[in-house]
Structure 1
Amino acid sequence: MPTDDLSRAAESHRWPEHIWRGHVEAVRTGRRLVPESWPGGARVAVALSFDSDHETIPLRDGETSPGRLAQGEYGARAGAPRIVDLLARYGVPATFFMPAVSALLHPEEARGYVRGGHELAVHGWIHERNTLLGRDEEKELTSRALDTLTTLTGQRPVGIRTPSWDFSDSTLDIMLELGFAYDSSLMGDDEPYEIVAGGRNTGLVEIPVDWIRDDAPYFTMDRYGSVRPHSRPRDVREIWVDEFDAAYRDGGVFQLTLHPHVIGHRSRLVALRELLDHIAAHRDVWFATHAQLAEASRGLLHGRTSARSVADPQEHAP
C-alpha cells in the first residue's frame, strides 16, 4: 500500500462526520434502472463484454520483454478470433472495451468488431491506472482514446470502462464532459443504475461489473508473483450459471467481463460455450451490447418506460 494510503488509513478513525460522509457520497448508486420488461418482452438481459487489453498490460507497467508481450499478443492472434467466431455461432452481440494502443496495434481487429455488429467502447489509452493521474492528464488520455477509436472505426464510442475499474476524483466529471452515455467500472449493484455525485443525479448510466463475473481472478498467472490460476474452467462456469439463473429469476441483468488473452485458451473457451448453451436454452433472453442495455435502462430516467416492481435497495436504506 502506498505511503499516502497508509497515512490516510492511520488517520481515518479521527475523521469528523463530514469527511467520511463526503468520501462515501462523492460517487454513489442512484435509482435502479430495471424496466418492466426488456426489449421484445424479454425477462432477462444478457450483456457480454470482452476487455481486449492484449499487449497494453505489460506496456502500461513498462515491461517490454518478448515473453510478456507475447502473452498479450495471444489475445489478438488466437483468443479474439475464437471469441468472435463463437459469438457469431450463437448470434450474440457483445461489447469490446479496447485500450487505444491495443486498437492501434490491431486496427483490423477493432474494425472487425464493429463490422460484426458488436460495440467498441473506451478502455483507456494504454490501460493506464487512471486513479494515479492528475485531472489534465487523465482527461487528455481519455479524450485521445475516444478520438482514436472514432478515427479507426468511423463510429464514436458511447461507453467507457476505466482500466482500473475505479474512479479518481476527476473521472466522473471527465466522463460527463466528454459526453459518455454510460460507464461500466463500478460495483454498486447487480443491476444498472444512475450514478449520483454529491447527492445530485448525473444522468450517467452505470452497468456494474464484479470480480465474480470476471475471468481474470480465476485464471491469471504471474510467473514472479503469488498469483496463480486456482480454478477449473467448468467450476467457474457453474458460478456464472448460478449468476445467470438468479438474474433470470429476478428479471434483471446478467453481465460478464472476459479477456481474450484469458478466456480465449481452448480449455477455457469450453466453459464459455457451455455457458452460452445454458443461456440459450431459456426463453425470453435479450442479448444486448452494453450501449443497448444502457439505452433501454435510460428509458426509466426519461419516463419512456415503467420500472419493474422489485424492491429497490435504497428503499431500505436508513
Structure 2
Amino acid sequence: MNEEPEPWQWPEAVWRGKVDRVRAGPALQPASWPEGKRCAVALSFDVDHETNELRDGGKSIGAMSRGQYGNRQGVPRILELLRRHDVPASFYVPAVVAQLYPNEARSFVDLGHEVGIHGWIHERNSVLPFEAERDLQMRSADALERICGVRPVGIRTPSWDFSQHTLEITRDMGLLYDSSLMADVDCYRLLLDGEDSGVVELPVEWIRDDAVYFNMNRFTALRPYTPPEAVFDVFWREFEAARAEGGIFQLTMHPHVIGYRSRIWILEELLRRMTATGECWFATHADIVEHAVERAA
C-alpha cells in the first residue's frame, strides 16, 4: 500500500509546481487615473443571499431567512446609497440567486452597475472535479447573461476558493478579469504555469471584507464580532493608504452583512468622506481593469 508523502517529503518539482501553477505576473498600476483623480475606488457586493446555506446541502429556514434579508433590506439600502452618491459598483451574483431574484439582478445592470460571475450555488471550487467546475462556471455566465441581458466579463469565485483549474477555465471562457486572489493591491497579470493567461487580477483581501468582522455561527460558538466603528477605521485607513499611493481602494461587502441599520452607516460614511476629497474615480471592477491594462506604466 502506497501512502501519500507528507509535504516535507515532496521533491522540489512537486512543491514548486504547486506554487507556480497560478502566480502574480507584472503589476498594472496606471500612470494616471481618469479625470485627473488621485485614486480608484472599486466597491463590490457579493450577493450570496440563501446560497450560503444551500451550497452545503443545508435546509435551515433561519439561515435562509437571513439570506433573504439581503434581498429585502440589504440590496435596497445599498442601491439607494449608491444612487444618492452617483457611484457605480460591481455585484457578484450566484446564478441560483439571479434565478430566485431576477428583477434584482436586472436592476443592477439597469442602474449602471456591473454584474459578475459568483458561481452557480456558491459552491466550493476546490472540491469540484474539473468538468463539474467548468460546467458550473459556464452555466453561471449563461444564466446571468440570459437574466441581465449582458454577458459578464469578470468572475469572483465563491468564498474566493480557487482550484488548480479555475484560472484555466476562466482563460478559456475569455473573461477579462478575476477578483478572488490577494498577491498585490494593484491590478496584475495572472500567470498560468509561468505563461501570461490573458486574465487580469483585481485583488481582494480579507481585511477589506465585511463578513470576516461580523459573521457568526452559533453551532460552533464562532462569534468574531467587531464593533462597526472599528471596521470603519480599518476600511478608512486602507482607503487613505490607497489614496496616498495613487492606487486602488477595493472593498468587498455583502447585502446580508453590511445591510443592517447599525452597519450601513459604514458605507455611507465612507462614500461621504471619499466623495468629499474630490480625488476618487469611482468605477466598476471591469472599468478599472480595462483602464489599468490600457494605461499601465
TM-score by length of 1: 0.91
Equivalent position of 1:139 in the other structure = 134
Alignment of 1:45-56 (within 5 A): 45-56=40-51
Q: Does residue 284 of structure 1 match 2:274?
A: no
RMSD: 1.2
Between 164-173 and 252-261, report the one with greater CA deviation.
164-173
**Ranges in structure 1 where 5+ consecutive residues have no aligned partner:** 1-6, 300-304, 308-318
The answer to whether the Cα contact below 8 Å between 1:131 and 1:164 also exists between their aligned partners in 2 is no
Cα deviations by residue, 1:28-68 (Å, 9 ceiling, x for unpaired):
01111111001122110000000000001101111112211
Cα deviations by residue, 1:297-316 (Å, 9 ceiling, x for unpaired):
111xxxxx351xxxxxxxxx
| 1:220 CA drift (Å) | 0.5
Q: Out of 123, 128, 152, which is 2:123 matched to?
A: 128
Measure, in 2, the Cα distance between the counterparts of 1:243 and 1:206.
19
Q: How many residue pairs were aligned?
A: 295
Equivalent position of 2:189 in the other structure = 194
Q: 1:283 to 1:126 in 2, by over 3 A?
A: same
Measure, in 2, the Cα distance between the counterparts of 1:138 and 1:96.
21
Q: 1:19 to 1:268 in 2, by over 3 A?
A: same
Q: Out of 219, 223, 237, which is 1:224 matched to?
A: 219
Alignment of 1:276-315 (within 5 A): 276-299=271-294, 305-307=295-297
Measure, in 2, the Cα distance between the counterparts of 1:238 and 1:272.
12
Runs of 4+ in 1 over 6 A off after TM superposition: none
Equivalent position of 2:206 in the other structure = 211
The answer to whether the Cα contact below 8 Å between 1:127 and 1:163 also exists between their aligned partners in 2 is yes
| 1:76 CA drift (Å) | 0.5
The answer to whether the Cα contact below 8 Å between 2:168 and 2:192 also exists between their aligned partners in 1 is no
| 1:208 CA drift (Å) | 0.5
Secondary structure in structure 1 of the residue aligned to 2:158: coil
Measure, in 1, the Cα distance between the counterparts of 2:106 and 2:116.
12
Measure, in 2, the Cα distance between the counterparts of 1:166 and 1:28.
15
Alignment of 1:1-318 (within 5 A): 11-299=6-294, 305-307=295-297
Amino acid at match of 1:238: D
| 1:229 CA drift (Å) | 4.0
| 1:284 CA drift (Å) | 2.3
Measure, in 2, the Cα distance between the counterparts of 1:52 and 1:108.
13
Q: 1:239 to 1:63 in 2, by over 3 A?
A: same
Measure, in 2, the Cα distance between the counterparts of 1:203 and 1:252.
22
Measure, in 1, the Cα distance between the counterparts of 2:159 and 2:243.
29
| 1:14 CA drift (Å) | 1.4
Secondary structure in structure 1 of the residue aligned to 2:250: strand
**Ranges in structure 2 where 5+ consecutive residues have no aligned partner:** none
The answer to whether the Cα contact below 8 Å between 2:98 and 2:104 also exists between their aligned partners in 1 is yes
Q: How much identity, in percent, do the aligned residues show?
A: 53
Cα deviations by residue, 1:188-230 (Å, 9 ceiling, x for unpaired):
0111100011111112110100000000010012121132142
Secondary structure in structure 2 of the residue aligned to 1:281: helix
Between 83-92 and 59-68, report the one with greater CA deviation.
59-68
Measure, in 1, the Cα distance between the counterparts of 2:128 and 2:296.
40
The answer to whether the Cα contact below 8 Å between 1:195 and 1:205 also exists between their aligned partners in 2 is yes
